Structure 1
Amino acid sequence: MCHGGWCFAGLTEQLRGHGHVVHPLTPTGIGERSHLLPGGVNLDTHIEDVTALLTAEDVRDAVLVGHSYGGMVITGAADRLPERVDSLVYLDAVVPAHGDSCWTLVSEQERRWYLDVVDTGYGVRPLPFFDPRATPHPLASLLQPLRLAGDPARFRRRDYVYAAGWDGESPFTPVYQRLRADPAWTTHALDGGHNLMRDAPGELLKILLAVPGQAGGV
């Protein structure tokens, strides 16, 4: 939420250095794209951001990586273009099923934050400790339920990377505990805060490099 593809800049450079094709994406209505359709942006818009990129760049065997709210987006994008997706990586993220919204999956503390909207009513204010480049996040994207046509378990691999160093209680602890007991998932716990790209980049890089196998773009 509130961040752009630039928050993956360090990882992008390192992954490309290992020969991977990487497409960091800023969703519509956020960051440098905050001027685009602020009142009409929802979860479907962000899913289409990803599917449009996969199609335009002719990406095959993609590893989709989603941070936090991004778990909603990569789940929906993989469901819509399963023939282009190899694996999914959830970075301290929500893991939705059919009919879930980000609102229904988070704690009451996060819901109170979601209701702190800017004057237009369209966007959730960035939290004070966010990167100074962060911009309001489209509220509708957090409220819209996800619609899935297929089984998310059909992809070759699904990884969950849990941030164990939250300042306070993490809303993702129940997700991690549930998936850790599921043999269909590969789980990891890193000693860092929610923004693992910043707090544990070296360990996160090792995890991402192990995921693709013979797959292509991230």
Structure 2
Amino acid sequence: MCHGGWCFEEITERLRGHGHRVVPLTLTGVGERSHLRHAGANLDTHIEDVTAVLSAENIHDAVLVGHSYGGMVITGAADRAPDRVKSLIYVDAMVPGNGESCWDLASEQEHRWYLDVVESGDAIRPLPFFDPRATSHPLASVLQPLRLAGDLAHIRDRTYVYAAGWATPSPFTAAYERLRADPGWTTHALAGGHNLMRDAPAELLRILLEAADLGTGARQHADPVR
């Protein structure tokens, strides 16, 4: 939320250095695309941001990586473009089911933040400690429920990376605890704050490389905090 594809810059360059094709996305109405917010950007818009790139760039066997709110987006994109997505990686992110919204999965602390809207009432203000490039985020995207056509059974590999270093109680702990008990998921816990691409880039890079390079479907649980 509030950020752009540029927040993955270090990870992007490292992945490219390993020979991977990487396409960081900035969602409609956010960051350098904030001028498009008033067109009515919502969760469906953000899902289409991803599926449109997959189609236009003729991408298949994609590994979609979603951070925080981005978990909503990659889940929807995998459902709507099943022939183009191989794996999903949730980086301290929402893991929604059919009919759930970001609001439904957020804590009261996040609710208070979401209600701090700009004067026009259609967007959430960035928090004071965010990257200076961060902008307001379309409110409709966190309120709209996700509608799934299937159960994502076509996804071969699902990974959850939990940030264990929150200064306050993490809103993602319940999801992590649930998924680490699920044999259909690979889980990791890293000793960093919510922005793991900044706090634990080397460890996150290793996880992304494993997911992209192996793709074997073998499940592993690497939960000890690093």
CA root-mean-square deviation: 0.9
Aligned to 1:143: 143
Aligned to 1:213: 213
Q: How many angstroms does 1:172 deviate by?
A: 0.3
* Structure 1: 5+ residue stretches without partners: none
Aligned to 2:23: 23
Q: How many angstroms does 1:38 deviate by?
A: 2.3
For 1:49, what is the secondary structure of its paired residue?
helix
Count of equivalent residues: 215
Q: How many angstroms does 1:212 deviate by?
A: 1.8
* Structure 2: 5+ residue stretches without partners: 216-226
Distance in 1 between residues matched to 2:196 and 2:214, nearest whole Å: 25
Distance in 2 between residues matched to 1:154 and 1:184, nearest whole Å: 12
Aligned to 1:72: 72
Q: How many angstroms does 1:213 deviate by?
A: 3.2
For 1:182, what is the secondary structure of its paired residue?
coil
Aligned to 2:223: none
When normalised by structure 1's length, the TM-score is 0.97
1:39–1:122: 8 Å Cα contact kept in structure 2? Answer: no
Aligned to 1:199: 199
AA partner of residue 65 (structure 1): V
Is 1:13 aligned to 2:13, yes or no?
Answer: yes
Aligned to 1:82: 82
When normalised by structure 2's length, the TM-score is 0.93
Distance in 2 between residues matched to 1:184 and 1:59, nearest whole Å: 25
Aligned to 1:118: 118
Summarize the alignment of residues 165-184 of structure 1 with structure 2, pairs less than 5 Å apart.
165-184=165-184
Distance in 1 between residues matched to 2:114 and 2:159, nearest whole Å: 27
Distance in 2 between residues matched to 1:81 and 1:146, nearest whole Å: 15
Aligned to 2:220: none
Distance in 1 between residues matched to 2:81 and 2:105, nearest whole Å: 24
For 1:90, what is the secondary structure of its paired residue?
strand
Q: How many angstroms does 1:198 deviate by?
A: 0.3
Q: How many angstroms does 1:214 deviate by?
A: 6.1
| Percent sequence identity over aligned pairs | 73
Q: Which runs of 4+ in 1 moved over 4 A?
A: none
2:30–2:37: 8 Å Cα contact kept in structure 1? Answer: no
Q: How many angstroms does 1:168 deviate by?
A: 1.1
Distance in 2 between residues matched to 1:139 and 1:113, nearest whole Å: 11
Distance in 2 between residues matched to 1:125 and 1:59, nearest whole Å: 33
